[in-house]
Structure 1
Amino acid sequence: MSAQTELAVVPPQETALTVYSTPNGLEPWLQQIRCKIDGFTPDISTRKGREAIASMAYAVARSKTALDDVGKKLVADLKEVPKKIDAERKRVRDTLEAWQEEVRRPLNEWEEAEAAKKREIEVWVGELRLDPQIISAADSEYLRISIGAFENIVIDGEWLGDYEAEALRLKADTLAALRSALEKREQYEAEQADLARLRAEAEAREQKDREDQIAREAAERATQEAEEKAQRARDAEAQRVRDEQEAAEKRENDLKLQTAEAERRAEQAKREQVEAEQRAERERLEGIERQAAAVEQARRDEVKRQNDAAAEILRQQEAREADTAHRTKINRAALAAFMAGGMTEECAKQAIKLIALRKIPAISIQY
């Protein structure tokens, strides 16, 4: 370390861990720095003194950094120690676990083989146990085949080992159940055969009874149909007689009605002829009256038209005369006005005439 930048020499690497791990272990180094600080008496009034103060402060800071770096390095080194320990522990664990698996592998293989054999035996032994529902629902043929199959099963005690007794028991129990079920099934099937035979006989009797009933009903229907046919023939003959009687009566009634209708029509025609003659006479007289009225109305209309025409001529004449008088009055007033304005009478008359004839643009006389 430079004496110019640091105030104390840091502890050597060999003793650094002891120094830093001891309470107040760095106190001697701090006292060295403190002594140098206490013995430092600069002159603040001079530039050299001020530079000395700055240099001393920098040296203190450098000493702080140097001492702290040594401690930091110690801590970093110490942090690496657990990692190295853990790595070695893991290596040892992995190695020993591999050796353990290597040593135990033959035993594991033997145990797996035994477990597989046990599962196989348990499955085989389990197959010796039949479902009671299957046994109870099976027919005799299935039961006989099953009994033969179970009787041929060989119980290998050497292979079964501890399961031999259970296998023998299950085989015996299953055979007993099958034989009992076969006995019951054969009895049941025999009973069912008897029932089927009885049902067939009953059905045959019922069929014969139905056929006999059909024959009887057919004979009865034939007899009834013959009687109904004869009755229909009798009814038809009676109806024919009634129809002929009714037809004769109808013809007689129709003849009477026709005679009465002819007489009524003759009387009606006679009345209609008289009424027609009377109506024709009335219409002739009414025509004469209408013609006379029309002539009179035409005469009156003509008289009215002539009177209206004469009145219109008179009205128009009076209107013209009134208009002429009105125009003359206005023209005289205009003439007087023109003459009052300095025009001669002839000029004023000519001006009024030209204006009245609308020969003077934009000038007119309001009559």
Structure 2
Amino acid sequence: MANELVVIEPAKALDLFTASDKVQELIVSVERETERRKAELGELNLSVLAHRKKLISLAFDITRSKTYIDKAGKEVVDGLKELPKQVDASRKLFRDALDTLVAQVKQPVEEWEAQEEARKQAEEAQRIADEEQKKADELARLMPYLHAEALEMNAECDRFIAEVKAEEERKRIEHENEIKRQAAEQARIEAEQKAQRDREAAELKAKQEREAAELKARQEVEAAAKREHEAREAQERAEREKQEAIAKAANDAKEAKERAEREKLAAIEAERRKAEEAERARLAEAERQKQAELKRQANKDHQRQFNREALQALTKAGFDDKTATKFLELVIKGEVPHLSMNY
């Protein structure tokens, strides 16, 4: 019970859980105790882990109180089976209210953590954008070399096809000559047939190679175009994010400048009020000293008048001036027992 925000006496538990107004009063009591403890925590800086833990600890105490109240209600239900619905309703009211209170207490921590996560994601996005920009710049630098390499590959393919065709033709002629030596007529027929087959095969092969080369070149061009498009998009995205960051920085700087100006004016005003208060205090002290001096002077005048009257009374009673003056001085100094001057 050291950390719960409320205490439920067992003898009063039944009355509490069967009266909705008392349930509401207990909820209000928990809320007030929560506010009191929050006030004791003072001003919290949510960027400090220890401060966030204080709020989380308070929320945990509320959860403990919820568990404690719910357990007390369950004990009432266990002891009074005829009242389960009423007590369960009160328990639910407690749980819902204190869950809401827990959420309210933890909300500043969760909001700060969400803002911190958003800041980290923004930094990561900026890092990725910078890397994309570097890749885009490198691709733009390599594009002329890639284009020249593709053209050179096309020329090499043409030379290879020509060499293959020349070799095929040489072999065909040698074969025809051999056949002619063995059987002129048979060689002629076979040579014509082979020539036809070779031409068709060469044409088909040339066609296939040409189409393959064209497809490869087209794919390379399309890939280069795609890379260029992606690089352009990455560059535009990086520029857009850069401008947004610049705008935000400018706005933050403006707000900081305005805040500094307000603080400067407030400091000037505070200094002015301080100077005015100091001047009023100086004048008041001067007036007090003046009045004190006037009072001292009045007291001196009063004492002199009092002394003159006493001296006159003594001389009138028969004392000479010297004796009367000496006696009066002794009385004033308190050197005559049982006698004093009552001014």
Q: Which TM-score applies when normalising by structure 2?
A: 0.27
TM-score (norm 1): 0.26
| Higher gyration radius (CA) | 1
Work out which structure has the larger RCO, using CA pairs closer than 8 Å and 6 or more positions apart in sequence: 2
